[in-house]
Structures are given as C-alpha cells and as structure tokens.
Amino acid sequence: MPLLQAENLTFSYDKKHNVIKNVSLSVEKGEYIAVIGRNGSGKSTLAKLFNGLVKPDSGKLTVDGFDGNDKNSLFEIRKRVGVVFQNPDNQLVASIVEDDVAFGPENLGVPREEIGKRIDFALKAVGMEKFRHSSPTRLSGGQKQRIAIAGVLALMPEILVLDESTAMLDPQGRKEVLDVVEKLNKEKNVTVITITHYMDEVLNADKVFVLSDGEVVLTGTPEEIFKEKDRLKSLGLELPLAAVVADRLKEKGVALPDGILTNEGLAEALCALKAKI
Amino acid sequence: MKEVAFGQYYPAKSFVHNMDARVKILAVIAYIVAVFLVQSFQFMGFAACLLFVLIATAASGVPFGKVLKSIKGILFFIILSAILQVFFNATGNVLVEWGFIKITDKGLLNAAFIVARITLMVIGASLLTLTTSPVELADGIESLLTPLKWLKFPVHEFALIMSIALRFIPTLLDETDRIIKAQKARGADFESGNVFKKAKALIPVLIPLLISSFRRADELADAMDARCYSGSKNRTKYKKMHLTWRDLIGVLVMAGLITGVVYLNITGFLAVVV
C-alpha cells in the first residue's frame, strides 16, 4: 500500500472555481517526488491538502493508512506529513533556534528528555547544530530554511513536503537546502515531495507530476517528462538550462545525443565530442 | 533601524543572567515599589536603591554604559517633568522670581527627586530586559500568571502571543526599512515638512506594513497548524525553569532593600508625627 495516496481530490476555495481537479497520485516510502507547475497551477494548495491544512471537497486522501476525511486522524496525518513553506521568516515561531525546533514536539506532548534528543537529531540532520542557541533573525535565508526543515524533522515525519521552499533563496541558499533534502532522502529514507517551478530541482526526482490548472497532466521520470518539450512549453514551463543549451547546439548542427538534462551530462557529451575531433 | 534602544537583550553568562526569570520579574516589581516608597526627603532611601542597582549591574556583566543608554529613550520625558517641577512648583521658599515664573527650593528638590525616581526605575527595569531573553521573559510571565488559569484566563495563549510578537519585531523592522527605501525610490519624501506632514508621509509605509503583517500572520498560522499546534492541551515544555542558590541570594538582597526602605519610611513618618 502506498504511503500517501490521493484519489480524485477536488478542492475549491470559493465553491465555484476548482483549484484542484480530480487529482489522483500515489507516493511510495522513500521516493523523491517532484510536483511542477507554473504559478497558479494549484501546487501550494496540493501541499496544504496533503497535510490536512485544507479539506478536499471530494475525493480521498490516505496517509499511512489514515483517512484524511476522518477528523480524528487529522493529527496523525500532520504528524506524518511535514510541510516546509516558502518564506522562512513566516514559519519560525521562536526567537531562539532550539526553541523553534522544540515547538513541534512540544505540541505533540513529547517528554522533555526526548525533545532534547530530537533537537540534537534534527539540527544535525540539517547541519545547523552550531547555531542551536542563536537567534534565527541573524541567519541567512538558506540557514533559516534549514532551521524550518529541522523544525519539521523534529516531528519525525514520514514525508517531507517542500512547498516552494527554495523560491525566496539565493543560489547558495537553494543549494544548501537541496543538498540537505537530498541527504535526508538518501540517508534517512525520508520520503520527499518537492513542489517547485524550478525545472532543475526536478532532475533528482524519482517521479514527476506536472500540474496545470489544478490537474495532473503529465506523470513520469524526469527523462520521460523532458522528452515532451513542446507539451511543457505550451504549459508555460521551461526546460533546465543544460537541456536548452543542448537543443540550441543541436539546431546549429552540433552532433549531441538526445536526453541531455544536467550540466554534468552536457559537459560529458561535449567532451566526448571534442575527443572525437 | 535594527537597534531597539530600550533594554534589548545583552547575551552573556553572568550571575544575573543565570537567575530564574520569574525571580527577576518579581524582583523588578519589588524594586519599583521600593523606589516609589522612598519619600522626597529620604536621600538614604535613594542611596540604597542606587547601591542595589549598581551591585545588580556589576553582577550582570552588562557594560555600565549600555545600562545607562536605556535612559536615552525617555530622556525627553525626564527633562520635561523636571522642568515642570522647577518652574511651576510654587510652594516653598522663593529663590528666583522672574515674571510669572518662580523658582523655589522645594521645586528644585522635587525636580531632583523626580529625576532620581524615574532614572532609578528605568535602569532597574532595563536591567531585567538586558539580562533576560524574550523567550525566558515570556516563559516567566506565563509561569507567574498560571494561577489566573483558574479564572479561565488564557495564560498559555497570552504568553505565546507575547513571544511571537517579540520574535517578529526584528522581522518587521527590516520590512519597514525595506518599504521606506522602496517608497523613497518612488519619490516619497519623509524628511521635509512639519510634524503633521511627516506623520502623513508615513501612511504609505504603514499600509503596506499592515497588509504584509496580515499575510505573515496567515502563513505563520498555517505553519503552526502544520506542526501540530492545537493550543495548550497535552502540550509539554522543553525549557523548564528552576530555582538555584542565585535566586535565593537575589530574593534575600531584595528583601533587605525593601525592609530598609520601609524602615526609613516608618521612622521618617514617626519623626514627622512625633
């Protein structure tokens, strides 16, 4: 049974225009999932549906066997699905890092000694243990966002949902956060659902869902998705930079292979080409 | 813009820093009461309070200049009340008379008395905020207000609101700064004109600030919900406050000060009556 399963989820804020239409998807334990779509495609609403912040008008959400429509299991779902939001400033509750990380476990009624252990674990997992007694206001955007991730990890979630969590960060901060998330996925087997409009964040994913106008219009591995270039363009999405460069080079007659997506892939192909000449 | 003048937390490890926040809050309240109990003719009382503040400052490891700076914010208020006393207190022996202005010895004495009283009070209060982090302060107040739970007063919520407000002060100051710059870039003028014009010029700063605060509040609420917040029910606390020998010493010193001041008051009162 999948860890998270959505069946025909439909949701509207005003009961007129559906923001999410008939979305069905399933996520297995340990997977790295990317949901992409341009602004207004319903991405963030989907994140809120996943953790029960909003309730679907129809359809069914199941997380680890708990039914999202059952009011009593709301807490169980929130415990299992941790969401990191876009603006790091607006999700930190306390003025000291360790107090903020403690907020989640405190809410769950975790005993004191155990909270201390969880803070150790969470801060170590995001590489911020040195800042335990600092004030978040003095940290950089990437560091703040890592604290926000630690705050969610302290709840010991099964699934980490990143709702455009890198959108407000500079390239350095984005890299910090993405590295931490990838490490969590690989080493701690945390299931990750990253919701983004940055195409290059999709490349590491096991599975990609393309969302447009509240509907899942494409599903597949990154390679499969990026093959549908024209489809993506018509949805207002851009290919990763390396793929665009490779395409343009091919147009100019450079004999590059198909399916180049990453900078490394492009570099390799170009080197191979040079070796041939 | 980032520096809030009045008693911003001064991180350090010291005797006073390590005291229990609850004891410090109660001590400051007792101290302020003591300062107010001292009558104008009892210089001994003020000397006792001053001595207390000096000892407390020395034990707090906060540089003396930093403590004195806390008066800066209300300097205007202190000077104003001194001037009012000097010029408009008509009792006592007249020293200088100039038109309708009379300066009397009692007026001067009262002015000095008021300056001493306010200064001592502010220094004592800022010593609390200088040595106690906002979180400790909020926790301390929550703990002290706990008996009010019995009257159905939402103590936990009150403390949470307070600590979140403190947490967002620097964020909102940053934002104000950004909005002011953005409006300046659009040609807004905040410097020229009289007080009213300047106040009016701030409207284009306050409205965006207000709107963004609501947005922030909304997002924060979502983030708190997402982290399983559901009020004070079944909630545990990571930080536990406990009393140590430092607090005992603090309480004893405080008790000494209060006793001294009350003793001076009673003997002073008896001297006047008898």
Residue bearing the bigger pLDDT, A264 or A110: A110
Are B143 and B257 found together in one domain? yes
Are B224 and B249 found together in one domain? no
Report if residue B165 sits inside a domain: no
Percent of all residues in chain B with a pLDDT value above 70, rounded to a whole number: 96
**Contact yes or no for A214/A19 (Cβ under 8 A):** yes
Report if residue B207 sits inside a domain: yes
At B221 the pLDDT is: 94
Give the tens place of pLDDT for each residue, B246-270: 889 888 988 888 888 888 878 877 7
Give the tens place of pLDDT for each residue, B154-192: 888 888 888 888 888 888 988 999 999 999 999 888 888
Report if residue B159 sits inside a domain: no
At B212 the pLDDT is: 93
Report if residue B164 sits inside a domain: no
At B274 the pLDDT is: 65
3-state secondary structure chain B: CCCCCCCCCCCCCCCCCCCCHHHHHHHHHHHHHHHHHCCCCCHHHHHHHHHHHHHHHHHHCCCHHHHHHCCHHHHHHHHHHHHHHHHHCCCCCEEEEECCEEEEHHHHHHHHHHHHHHHHHHHHHHHHHHHCCHHHHHHHHHHHHHHHHHHCCCHHHHHHHHHHHHHHHHHHHHHHHHHHHHHHHCCCCCCCCCHHHHHHHCHHHHHHHHHHHHHHHHHHHHHHHHCCCECECCCCCCCCCCCCHHHHHHHHHHHHHHHHHHHHHHHHHHHHHC
Report if residue B69 sits inside a domain: yes
List the structure tokens of A227. Answer: 């093959």
Handedness of CA B154, B157, B163, B167 (dihedral sign): negative
Are B83 and B117 found together in one domain? yes
What is the distance in angstroms between the Cα of A48 and the nearest Cα belonging to chain B?
9
User: Is the predicted pLDDT of residue B5 greater than 60, yes or no?
Assistant: no
At B40 the pLDDT is: 62
Are B224 and B266 found together in one domain? no
Are B121 and B196 found together in one domain? no
Give the tens place of pLDDT for each residue, A47-70: 999 999 999 999 999 999 999 888
**Contact yes or no for B220/B163 (Cβ under 8 A):** no
Are B224 and B124 found together in one domain? no
**The domain containing residue B66 runs over which residues?**
1-154+240-274
Q: Which of A91, A61, A66, A93 is nearest to A77 (CA)?
A: A66
Are B175 and B263 found together in one domain? no
Report if residue B160 sits inside a domain: no
Report if residue B163 sits inside a domain: no
Quote the CA–CA distance of A12 and A87 in Å, as a whole number. Answer: 24
* Tokens 């945390």 sit on residue: A190
* Tokens 């009461």 sit on residue: B33
* Mean per-residue pLDDT, B111-119: 88
* Mean per-residue pLDDT, A105-112: 93
- The band of B28, judged by pLDDT with boundaries at 50, 70 and 90, is very high
Give the tens place of pLDDT for each residue, A207-255: 999 999 999 999 999 888 888 888 888 888 888 888 888 888 988 888 8
* Mean per-residue pLDDT, B40-56: 83
What is the distance in angstroms between the Cα of B261 and the nearest Cα belonging to chain A?
38
A28-32, B60-64, B73-77, range with greatest mean pLDDT: A28-32
Are B268 and B149 found together in one domain? yes
Give the tens place of pLDDT for each residue, A123-178: 999 999 999 988 888 899 999 999 999 999 999 999 999 999 998 888 888 888 99
* Mean per-residue pLDDT, B7-11: 74
Query: Exposed, middle or buried by CB within 10 Å (0-12, 13-18, 19+), for A231?
Result: middle
Report if residue B44 sits inside a domain: yes
What is the distance in angstroms between the Cα of B147 and the nearest Cα belonging to chain A?
22
* Tokens 């559901």 sit on residue: B230
Interface of B with A (CB under 8 A): 133-135, 163-164, 166-167, 170-171, 215-216, 219-220, 222-230, 234-240
List the structure tokens of A108. Answer: 């769950």
Quote the CA–CA distance of A267 and B172 in Å, as a whole number. Answer: 45
Are B85 and B210 found together in one domain? no
At B219 the pLDDT is: 94
ipTM, 2 decimals?
Answer: 0.86
Number of domains in chain B: 2
Are B196 and B65 found together in one domain? no
Q: How does DSSP classify residue A13?
A: S
Q: Which of A231, A246, A264, A260 is nearest to A36 (CA)?
A: A231
pTM of the model: 0.79
Are B5 and B72 found together in one domain? yes
Query: Would you call A109 and B235 a contact, using CB atoms and an 8 Å cutoff?
Result: yes
Are B15 and B40 found together in one domain? yes
Query: Would you call B238 and A82 a contact, using CB atoms and an 8 Å cutoff?
Result: no
